[in-house]
Chains A and B, each alone.
Chain A
């Protein structure tokens, strides 16, 4: 994965280059906006990390420029300014995500990976623990064995997997089901479906946690 890092603070740039390199990125560093703009025009990057407060040409200008030529390039903005103040401006300029300094490095990497996942063509399969999903055929496999799932169970499972590590609210589940159409009502509550899924996923190496008053969260078993 080729990554452009535009950051003028030498110490931070040095550390980020090392850390991102360790996380599997091939990092190209631009110490100012002009260089970043030049590199973006010359080379092909998979993702860009732009500091807003860059010398010569600020990050927002670089972003606006690159959006004209590469609308699909995932761009994450880094800023020392107030996230709340600049969020709107950044997102309006076409940023895909936004991280305020100082940040936790694992969070930065997680956001970059999320951006990359979104920019890739919809992946045919997703993996979590020993579970793999095949979106095209709407099939779920645990260690290669297919699971028998109803339409609603599949929708629920796909939702939980796509939001892995995050809370999926009951509202989201209801919405996903009604978007799916098909079997309606049925009196069976979300709890019943969750209970069934848990039983079917016993050997999948993952857990579906109940989050009080909110919904459910799926994550790989520790």
Chain B
């Protein structure tokens, strides 16, 4: 017997199919979602900028119109009303500044940073006149004119370069700048973003749930297939049910079924070989026994008789072993017999069988009987021949090991209801002897094949193994109990329902 391979732990197993499918379906969706989010934020910000820029440009042009060039100077006609229009919104006040570059302040309510392209040391390009320049900036720090906004606040600005001065005179440039806080613009962009992303996120979540449910539903045949394989006994080689398998699983299940039937054939062939071998041994053993018996009868030489006696014992033991091996083969779940069950009265069967054994027990000077307290009509659903075989082995064992002068009692009764068996009423079948019993240390071992607790008798160590095999095949249990003195072998079998 080779050692069974250790089962692959879940950690070693490949990625779960569900997880893989979810990943493949949902990961691209997440990427698309993020890209969509980023894109829509960009669009939203663009539209918001556009709107702000348009209003800034409008404001700067109307501000420029208020400045009228006179000769080389400027007439500033900036009435209070116009100023109020510019500064109308108290929460989003427009800031403005008119200057004559470089840096000559003319009027305004705020010192504003010049457009980055035309300020600083690196600025070489000449600004185009009448072309609005839009740019982002921040409120300059520590300006005494900073009455309206905190320094460092982000701003959106427009700069408009205009020329003024009389014809022929040196043209002069003036710079009109209007600014608004960026906060409003960002708020707008964010609102657009939220309005777009929220429904999209909910959609994604719903989709995820639906996809997950779909995958689970789609993979359920796989789970069913797994249950079919997982739940079965190692000896159950029946083919998998293919009726509900989808096309993709069909080939896998068919392959497994092919393997199962191949294994089944191999097992059946081996079992048949064992059975045939055992059968083939019977005739020569019968011949050996008979010949030895004749030889024993026809010789008087005590030494020869002793040897022949041992040959005869050996032949008898071999015959017993062959029979036991065949019984064991019959109890195998594949055998037709193990599957053929009928409802019968365990008490009546035990009674008949015990009665059959009484003459042999009397010959061995053993008092064999049924317990007077046995209950008649204890119905079980089992293979009667196999249960009979099990009881035969128990009685045979008891007669062998209890010894002459002892008492062997068979008892059948319904087991008292316990929490363990309250769902299934059990029948008790006990064989009790007042012989030497079995040492506690040996009690577990005696159910193993070819283990014998004593050297007495001609047993082959298969009796209790056969009983265990048969009883467990019928969803029952077998245990040894002390009988003070002696041994009680207790068999529990599920009782049959009332018709």
Contacts and interface: CB of A to CB of B under 8 A. Distances in A.
Question: Do A and B originate from a single complex?
Answer: yes
B291 A211 contact: no
A159 interface: no
Interface string A61-87: 000000000000000000011101000
B265 to A, nearest CB: 21
Contacts of A174: none
Most buried by A among B354, B356, B358: B358
Given A11-B284, A101-B285, A102-B315, A214 B351 contact: yes
B209 interface: no
Interface in A79-105: 80-82, 84, 100-105
B283 A214 contact: no
Interface string B276-288: 0001101111111
A212 B367 contact: yes
Nearest to B407: A212
Nearest to A106: B293
B287 A214 contact: no
Contacts of B355: 166-167, 169, 211, 214-215
Given A19-B294, A213-B374, A102 B359 contact: no
Nearest to A16: B290
A11 B293 CA distance: 13
Contact of A18 (B294, B359, B410): B294
Contact of A209 (B326, B356, B362, B409): B362
A103 B293 CA distance: 12
Contacts of A101: 282-283, 285-286
B106 to A, nearest CB: 122
Interface string A36-64: 00000000000000000100000000000
Contact of A11 (B291, B326, B356): B291
A211 B369 contact: yes
Interface string B324-368: 001000100000010000000000000100111011001000011
Interface in B240-292: 275, 279-280, 282-291
Contact of B337 (A84, A102, A104, A169): A84
Nearest to B295: A15
Interface string A1-30: 000000001011011101100100000000
B385 interface: yes
Contacts of B371: 212-213
B359 A15 contact: no
Interface string A157-182: 00000000111010000000000000
B358 A105 contact: no
A214 B370 contact: yes
Contact of A105 (B283, B285, B288, B290): B290
Contacts of A209: 362
Nearest to B357: A167
A194 interface: no
A9 B284 contact: yes
**Chain B residues touching A, range:** 35 or more
B372 interface: yes
A149 interface: no
Contacts of A212: 367-372, 409
A35 B300 CA distance: 37
Contacts of A34: none
Interface in B295-341: 297, 315-316, 319, 322-323, 326, 330, 337
Nearest to B371: A213
Nearest to A78: B286
A22 B354 CA distance: 32
A169 B350 CA distance: 13
A45 to B, nearest CB: 21
Given A11-B287, A22-B297, A213-B372, A84 B351 contact: no
A80 B369 contact: no
Interface string A98-138: 00111111000000000000000000000000000000000
Contacts of A12: 283-284, 286-287, 290
What secondary structure prevails in chain B residues at the interface with A? helix
Nearest to B336: A85
A217 interface: yes
B359 A9 contact: no
Contacts of B279: 80-82
A102 B370 contact: no
B293 to A, nearest CB: 6
Given A15-B287, A209-B362, A217-B358, A84 B330 contact: yes
B173 to A, nearest CB: 120
Contacts of A53: 283
Contacts of B290: 12, 15-16, 19, 105
A209 B361 CA distance: 13
A28 to B, nearest CB: 18
A169 B372 CA distance: 13
B282 A217 contact: no
A167 B350 CA distance: 13
B385 to A, nearest CB: 6
A53 B374 CA distance: 43
Nearest to A87: B385
B430 to A, nearest CB: 13
A82 B330 contact: yes
B291 A14 contact: yes
Nearest to B386: A84
Contacts of B285: 101-102
Q: 10 tightest A-B contacts by CB? A: A212-B369, A213-B370, A15-B290, A12-B287, A11-B287, A102-B286, A167-B355, A80-B282, A101-B286, A102-B319
Given A19-B293, A101-B283, A169-B351, 13 more contacts: A9-B283, A9-B284, A9-B287, A11-B284, A11-B288, A14-B291, A15-B291, A101-B282, A101-B286, A167-B356, A211-B355, A213-B370, A214-B351
19 contacts: A9-B283, A9-B286, A12-B286, A12-B287, A84-B385, A100-B282, A102-B319, A102-B322, A105-B289, A105-B293, A166-B355, A166-B359, A167-B356, A211-B358, A211-B368, A211-B369, A213-B370, A213-B371, A214-B355
Interface of A: 9, 11-12, 14-16, 18-19, 22, 53, 80-82, 84, 100-105, 165-167, 169, 209, 211-215, 217, 219
Interface of B: 275, 279-280, 282-291, 293-294, 297, 315-316, 319, 322-323, 326, 330, 337, 351, 354-356, 358-359, 362, 367-372, 374, 385, 409-410
